[in-house]
Amino acid sequence: MVMQQSISSASVRKAPARRHDRGRLMQEAAMLAPAMILLTLFLILPFLLSFWTAMTNQPLVPRPTPVRFVWFNNFIRIFQDDLFWTALWNVSRFTFWIIPAQCGLAFVTALLLNQKLPFRNLLRGMFFLPAITSMVVVCVIWGTLFQYPTGPFNQILGFLSGGAIQPIDWLGDPQWAMFSLVLLSAWQAYGFQMIVYLAGLQGIPDELYDAAKIDGANALRRFWHVTMPGLRPTHVFVLVITTIQAFKLYTQVAILTQGGPKSSTETVVHYMVRSGFEEQKMGYASAVSVILFVIVLIIALIQRQLLRRFDV
Amino acid sequence: MGKRLLWSLVLSSVLSASWAQAAEKTAIQVMHQGDPGFVAAYGKVAERFEAANPDVDIQFIYAPHDAYNEKFSAAVMAKQLPDVMELDAPFLANYVWSGYLQPIKPLIDKDLLDDMTESNIAQGTYPIDKDLYAIGLTDSSVVLYGNKKYLEAIGARIPKSVDDAWTREEFEGYLEKLSKLDGVKWPIDTFRGYGIKTEWITYAYGPILQSAGCDLIDREAWKSEGTLDSDACVDALAMMQKWVKNGWVVPQSAGTNQFFAEGNPAALALGGHWVYAEAVATMKDNIVVLPLPKFGAKGASPNGTWIWAITKTSKHPDIAAKFISFLLKDKEYRAYVASQSGYPGLKSFAAESPLYANGGPMAIAFEQASKTAVSRPPHPAYPTITSAFMQAVDEAFNGGDPKEALTSAAKKIDEDIEDNDGYPPFGDGQ
């Protein structure tokens, strides 16, 4: 009955709309215009420009020599540069580590903070605090924590192991540098994923839990058969957001390691900034940015596929 | 009532007069870097300058040392170049070639020009037109500092002048002996703590390559391949890599003060002239200052420092030059620089610096300037040259293959030169 009503009212509304098609189109265009203009100005145009720049030898600042079209020369050079591949490999490594670390941490804290704990909101605020602290500040503080050989981390490790663990050169050892950045980054940013998970958890209707209880499911089974399926879209969203963010790793590198030691923390964005601003090769840096765009685009497309498969 | 009116009239006329005066002032923008001590010193000089020239307003723009060129590029793009700018000498060629600076010889006080040391003239001169574009009170050098106690313990020979500097064999032998000495944690501090992306790398380690008989780039053909990746360079970088591998060098993460830190964990220090002022405060007369070792047939030492130039877009180059002249002559500023073991770039300033005079503790550093100083390549591609070299050094110090690292650096440099059509007129006269 309700359905019938809505259908009939829709068809009633449809008829005059057809008559004023053009007027409506104009109206829609006018409403879209501000967004489209802004999008074009700040997103589409810059991207086209960077694609254009990527095919020239444009320097950072004006120079006496002419700017030339070099077509795909920059891209060829980037692909031939070992450092670029190292950077790409490093970012992939970082992503591979940060997803379990950051999302796992976020998931566990979200589960804990979803319980009816005293001071729950205060705790949530506390756990979220690092996420709104400037990464620069976090890096400076962690830089001191990581210090070799006398920094707090090394002292704690030494104390706990009774001196068995030798001090680790967290940021100066190619074996450890990227791992240290993973630790720091996971700690700084997991608050965001935690909030998303909390929202996801609260989106699962209580009725489902009640029904499961009546059916005699224990806590573990409720977790596996109610919580986890209910969080599926959240998992996918968090996974994709974390991956994309991980590919943009820059601040930590710029402040703590400058890409070293032995290029073990060089990242694509850091490589781009280095060629654009230090070596003053804007064209080359633009080419790197185009490549990064394509990579992130591919990730976004995979995201869409995943979302579709999970019927979200 | 009438009185009040009169007062307000007087007051407003005084106010407007002072406003008018403020508006008439010529603003001179000065872009600079420096640690807090120097920044404060510049500020005081500006106050004295403004007192002497009430119609000028000096406005400072501070840019941090490590991001100075980036900040300068931003100023170029925003078309907001300052009138006066401080610049690091090896980047001068790039700035002049790009057309940012104007020759300063006709603008600066003549007595200052006559007062410049040869290496000071060299650091401010653009090699193509041989014109002077920048001037500084100071120059710079790197020496080898030694802990007297440790050197005596291993019976090391103490050179008295640049001419009898340690040879490579002596130097490496001493490093080995020092590594076994009680109390010495690391035989040498090469100030890796400054970071892997700092001009220090090219400035201080470049001369080791030059002393070993090679260079960052061929200075006539302006081509890096065949020079930076030559056997001599690879051998020199491999030698430094060996020091690091053997645990002889203070690691980057240990900071920059291991030579004069408590307990003196480092026995030697390959450090800039400024280290002396820091070290002498804690080590007193336990420091010996040695010339840089000879790693090949000849010695080599770096030069060049932050110097002052006037931009082409300056509307008041005469006043800008007046300020630079004023700064370099300012007594109190000179006294401050001298207290920071500033390396003289003016003959008169050398006379005021007993540290560098004959028999002074840093005399050897001053001697290097005339005997072994090699400037960094004065070429517009320098930003890429130094960036590529830093990358290679970081590779090698962390176990990478020196030959591969230098080959890829040389390739990167040549590509940049090619991208800019050889930076004409450089390379034309080959």
Convert the pLDDT of each residue in B210-247 to its tens digit. 999 999 999 999 999 999 999 999 999 999 999 999 99
Comparing A138-152, B267-281, B295-309, the range with the smallest average pLDDT is A138-152
| Residue B15 confidence (pLDDT) above 70 | no
- pLDDT given for residue B275 in this prediction: 94
Q: Does B347 touch chain A (CB under 8 A)?
A: no
Distance CA B427, CA B406 (A): 22
* Chain A residues closer than 8 Å to B415 by CB: 77
Q: Do B395 and A258 touch (CB under 8 A)?
A: no
- pLDDT given for residue A7 in this prediction: 44
- In the block, residue with structure tokens 């601003």: A277
- pLDDT given for residue A4 in this prediction: 44
Q: Does B126 touch chain A (CB under 8 A)?
A: no
Q: Spell out which chain A residues touch chain B, with contact meaning CB-CB distance below 8 angstroms.
A: 57, 59-66, 70, 77, 81-83, 147-149, 169-172, 174, 258-264, 274, 277-281
> What residues contact B56, with CB distance under 8 A and at least 6 apart?
B25, B26, B27, B28, B49, B50, B319, B323
| Residue B22 confidence (pLDDT) above 90 | no
pLDDT digits (tens, 9 = 90+) for A23-47: 889 999 999 999 999 999 998 999 8
Q: Do A274 and B387 touch (CB under 8 A)?
A: yes
Q: What is the mean pLDDT of residues B19-33?
A: 79
Question: How much is the pTM?
Answer: 0.83
Confidence of residue B2 (pLDDT cuts 50, 70, 90): low
* DSSP letter string, B98-145: HT-B---TTTS-HHHHHHB-HHHHHHTB-TTT--B-EE-SEE--EEEE
* Chain B residues closer than 8 Å to A80 by CB: none
Average pLDDT, chain A: 86
Q: Do B98 and A147 touch (CB under 8 A)?
A: no
CB-closest option in B73, B251, B399 to A280:
B73
Q: Which residue has the higher pLDDT, A280 or B309?
A: B309
Mutate to test the interface with B, among A75, A78, A176, A258 (most CBs of B within 10 A): A258
Count of all residues that appear for chain B in the document: 430
Confidence of residue B420 (pLDDT cuts 50, 70, 90): confident
Distance CA B389, CA B88 (A): 17
Nearest residue of B to residue A274 by CA position? B387
For the record, the structure tokens of A55 come out as: 């095919």
Name the nearest CA neighbour of A70 among A59, A55, A60: A55
Q: What is the mean pLDDT of residues B108-120?
A: 92
CA distance B419 to chain A (A): 6
| Residue B140 confidence (pLDDT) above 60 | yes
CA distance A126 to chain B (A): 31
The CA–CA distances, whole Å, from A66 to A49, A287, B192, B419 equal 18, 19, 39, 10
- pLDDT given for residue B280 in this prediction: 93
Map residue B188 onto helix, strand or coil. Answer: strand
Q: What is the mean pLDDT of residues B259-273?
A: 94
Mutate to test the interface with B, among A278, A281, A284, A286 (most CBs of B within 10 A): A278
CB-closest option in A81, A172, A277 to B252:
A172
- pLDDT given for residue B12 in this prediction: 60
pLDDT digits (tens, 9 = 90+) for B57-96: 999 999 988 888 888 888 888 888 999 999 999 999 999 9
Nearest residue of A to residue B73 by CA position? A61
**B residues 21-60 lying closer than 8 A (beta carbon) to A:** none
Q: Do A60 and B252 touch (CB under 8 A)?
A: no
- pLDDT given for residue A1 in this prediction: 38
* Chain A residues closer than 8 Å to B401 by CB: none
Q: Do B196 and A260 touch (CB under 8 A)?
A: yes
ipTM exceeding the 0.85 mark: no
Q: Does B399 touch chain A (CB under 8 A)?
A: yes
| Residue A165 confidence (pLDDT) above 70 | yes
CB-closest option in A61, A77, A170 to B73:
A61
Q: Does B286 touch chain A (CB under 8 A)?
A: no
pLDDT digits (tens, 9 = 90+) for A135-164: 999 999 998 898 887 889 989 998 898 888
CB-closest option in B196, B251, B383 to A279:
B383
- Percent pLDDT > 70 in chain A is 93
How many CB atoms are closer than 10 A to CB A91? 24
| Residue B1 confidence (pLDDT) above 50 | no
Which of A274-278, A305-309, B67-71, B122-126 has the highest average model confidence (pLDDT)? Answer: B122-126
Q: Do A62 and B197 touch (CB under 8 A)?
A: no
Q: Do A279 and B77 touch (CB under 8 A)?
A: no
Confidence of residue A6 (pLDDT cuts 50, 70, 90): very low
| Residue B200 confidence (pLDDT) above 60 | yes
- pLDDT given for residue A10 in this prediction: 45
Distance CA B401, CA A80 (A): 18
Map residue B303 onto helix, strand or coil. Answer: coil
Q: What is the mean pLDDT of residues B142-171?
A: 95
* Chain A residues closer than 8 Å to B416 by CB: 279, 281
**B residues 402-421 lying closer than 8 A (beta carbon) to A:** 408, 412, 415-416, 419-421
Size of interface A-B (CB pairs under 8 A): 88
- pLDDT given for residue B429 in this prediction: 45
- pLDDT given for residue A11 in this prediction: 46
H, E, C per residue of chain A: CHHHHHHHHHHHHHHHHHHCHHHHHHHHHHHHHHHHHHHHHHHHHHHHHHHHHHCECCECCCCCCCCCECCCHHHHHHHHCHHHHHHHHHHHHHHHHHHHHHHHHHHHHHHHHCCCCCCHHHHHHHHHHHHHCCHHHHHHHHHHHCCCCCCHHHHHHHHHCCCCCCCCCCCCCCCCHHHHHHHHHHHHHHHHHHHHHHHHHHCCCHHHHHHHHHCCCCHHHHHHHHHHHHCHHHHHHHHHHHHHHHHCCCHHHHHHHCCCCCCCCCCHHHHHHHHHHHCCEHHHHHHHHHHHHHHHHHHHHHHHHHHHHCCC
pLDDT digits (tens, 9 = 90+) for A188-227: 999 999 999 999 999 999 899 899 989 988 888 988 888 8
Q: Where are the alpha helices (DSSP H) in B154-302?
A: 168-179, 199-200, 206-211, 231-245, 274-283
Q: What is the mean pLDDT of residues B293-317?
A: 94
pLDDT digits (tens, 9 = 90+) for A45-101: 998 999 999 999 888 888 888 888 888 999 999 999 889 999 999 999 999 999 999
Q: What is the mean pLDDT of residues B194-205?
A: 92
